[in-house]
Structure 1
Amino acid sequence: MNVLYVYAHPEPRSLNGALKDFALRHLRAAGHEVQVSDLYAMNWKATVDAADSKEPPERGRFDPSHASQRAFQNGWQSDDIVREQEKLRWADVVIFQFPLWWFSMPAIMKGWIERVYAYGFAYGVGEHSDRHWGDRYGEGTLAGKRAMLVVTTGGWESHYSPRGINGSLDELLFPIQHGILYYPGFDVLPPYVVYRAGKMNEERYATVRDGLAARLDTLATTAPIPFRRQNGGDYAIPALTLHDDLARGEHGLRIHTR
């Protein structure tokens, strides 16, 4: 398979750096073609601004969405954005690895999403009618591809349990897995999570490494998270609310999985 590895950590000698290096060796040894977007090493520009387009400066205010749409449609996108979009088109699987900082991904990776997911590429696509509300949440440009998170966190697993102080990790990752990955069409695999990242010895690292290897070996066969398709009949259109007869009496993020 073609695997794109999108990675965000500023220190190559960190636990994240070791896991990333191991994952790349393991994937290549298994015969996969691999491309890497090491965002800190690339000095990736994380901010969205008018420099993302080669369009002559427009008069008036800068509208990020409309500028992104025009740039994508007319071939005016900056070269770094185009290169990353080409990697996404090439990939069968995309792995995003990052430390969980302040309950989310590092800003540099969020900036990669905001710039690479251009209007017309990852959003704003498909028919909008009373039967179909855009190609998204299970449809879209990236449909048919798989994605997985590799996440490290300093907290204990119990801290991220359903009754843990930090909240359920499944819910904390929902904006990323559902809103960033499933939205443009990815089949999203369950994440590989490493807890207590700052308390790592050689024995525990070997266990973590072997667990990651097992997940990498099953990228093609692991069942994805069963998110509901937006246009699959579970939601009223255009309200985009779950039909009353589904998950009756339930609320919260979990109603969006089957």
Structure 2
Amino acid sequence: MNVLIVYAHPEPKSLNGSLKDFTVRHLERAGHTVQVSDLYAMNWKASLDANDSRERLNGERFYPSQESKHAFENGLQSEDIAREQDKLKWADAVIFQFPLWWFSMPALMKGWIERVYAYGLAYGVGEHSDARWGERYGEGKFAGKRAMLVVTTGGWESHYSARGINGPIDDLLFPIQHGVLYYPGFDVLPPFVVYRTSRVDDAKYVEVSEALGRRLDALWNDAPIAFRQQNGGAYTIPALTLRDEVAPGQVGFAAHVEARASGAADHATPLQPRETAVMSAA
């Protein structure tokens, strides 16, 4: 299988750098082909702007979505964007690895999403009508591909628990997993999260890497997070709100994830605690 790792950390000798190298070795030893987009090493341009197209559609005013569509459809995107899109098309699975900075991904990775996810590729596709509202949230150009987050954070696991001060980790990652990954069609696997990374010594690193290795081995077998499909009947169209009979009385992020049957495997839940290393954000 083809695996793309989109990686954002400025220090190669960090825990993140070591885990990224481990992931490459582990996957290649298993017979997979791996490409890495190391955004800091690539000096990736984070800002989406008029220079992302080699020929403007509108020279008087910059409309990001219109210019993105025009550039994508006519082969006018800057070369760095086109190369990353080719990697996405090539990949069977994509791993996004980053430290959790200020409750989200680093700005460089957010900029990668904004520039590479062009109109016509990641959004703006499919029929928009009273029956369907585009190919998104379970459909789209990335349907059939898998995606997983590998995230490190300095806080304790308890800080990100259901009643923890930082909020549940599933809620913090929901905009990324549901909005960035599921929206264009990826099957999104539960994240691999390393907590309290400053406390990772040699012995703990072995534990973390072994747990990550098990997740990588199951990259094509683990059940994805059971997000509800937009066009699968759970939502009214075009309002895109859950039907009254779906998850009655439930609100918030969790309402958009289908409940699993009792006795389902651990990895079928949004987070897999047994593979969550207890440690901080290096």
1:102-251 equivalent positions in 2, closer than 5 A:
102-251=102-251
Q: Which digits, 9 at most, give the CA deviation of each residue in 1:31-84, with x for residues without a partner?
A: 001111000000000000111000147331111111101001111000110000
Quick one: which amino acid aligns to residue 60 of structure 1? E
Write the letter of the residue equivalent to 1:245.
E
- Report if the CA contact (8 A) 2:100-2:151 is conserved: yes
Q: AA paired with 1:193?
A: V
Aligned to 1:25: 25
Per the alignment, residue 262 of structure 2 pairs with none
Contact 2:122 2:140 in 1 (8 A): yes
Q: Separation in 2 of the partners of 1:81 and 1:159?
A: 37
Deviations 1:67-118 (A, max 9, x none): 1010011110001100000100010000000000000000000000000000
Cross-structure match for 2:87: 87
Provide the aligned C-alpha RMSD in A.
0.7
- AA in 2 matched with 1:39: L
Q: What secondary structure sits across from 1:248 in the alignment?
A: coil
SS at match of 2:137: coil
Q: Which amino acid aligns with 1:20?
A: K
C-alpha separation in 1, matches of 2:195 and 2:121: 34
Letter in 2 for 1:133: W
State the Cα distance separating 1:251 from its structure 2 match.
Answer: 0.8
Tell me the TM-score normalised to structure 2 length: 0.91
- 2:61 corresponds to which residue? 61
Residue type matched to 1:205 in 2?
Answer: Y
The TM-score with structure 1 as length reference comes to 0.99
Q: Secondary structure at the match of 2:216?
A: helix
SS at match of 2:147: strand
Unaligned 5+ segments in structure 2 are: 259-282
User: Which runs of 5 or more residues in structure 1 are unaligned?
Assistant: none
Residues in 1 aligned to 2:254 and 2:183: alpha-carbon distance in whole angstroms: 16
SS in 1 for 2:171: helix
Structure 2: distance between partners of 1:187 and 1:75: 28
1:180 positional shift: 0.1
* SS, match of residue 242 in structure 1: coil
- Corresponding letter in the other structure for 1:101: W
Shift of 1:199: 1.2
Q: Give identity over the alignment, percent.
A: 71
- Number of equivalences: 258
Please identify runs of 4+ aligned residues in structure 1 that moved more than 2 A: 56-59
More displaced 10-residue stretch of structure 1: 59-68 or 151-160: 59-68
